[in-house]
Structure 1
């Protein structure tokens, strides 16, 4: 019984508090909530745009680096192939043996 009385008193106080808010106060609170939501949305959109730009820059840097590495590998394998050809030619002309 005592718990019911306390619960009933809390519900009554909450109801009175809600009823005490005028329509203008409720409208202001809704307008504030809408403005906050709009600002949050704009901030999220700006952050998304910034992240997209940074990701594009990182992608470009990775692509450029990969292209440079591929070129260096190509040059290195060309050099190794040339050295191997020279070694084969040298081995063919070697008449001294071991």
Structure 2
């Protein structure tokens, strides 16, 4: 299992694109990324939504996400980071200064 520590957005994006197993984020960036946890559904919540919507929920989610990025104040780099984290990683707080991103597929 590969674990890396990053402190900048460019390093984070590089490791997200490589789908590194575990990414430890340190410094001010850790707080910023941890706030994304509020937007992230648990696996049970996500499955319940998809089953309840008979599969149409995934298309609706995709559409809403794309529309929200059109009017977003985030840079394209920040949008890529947010999208990759919310789709592929579980977010955990290690300390007040560090946040752990762990690939969801490792928990199966």
Q: TM-score, normalised by structure 1?
A: 0.23
Q: Which has the higher contact order (CA 8 A, sep 6+)?
A: 2
Structure with higher Rg: it is 1
Query: Higher helix share goes to which structure?
Result: 1
Query: Higher strand share goes to which structure?
Result: 2
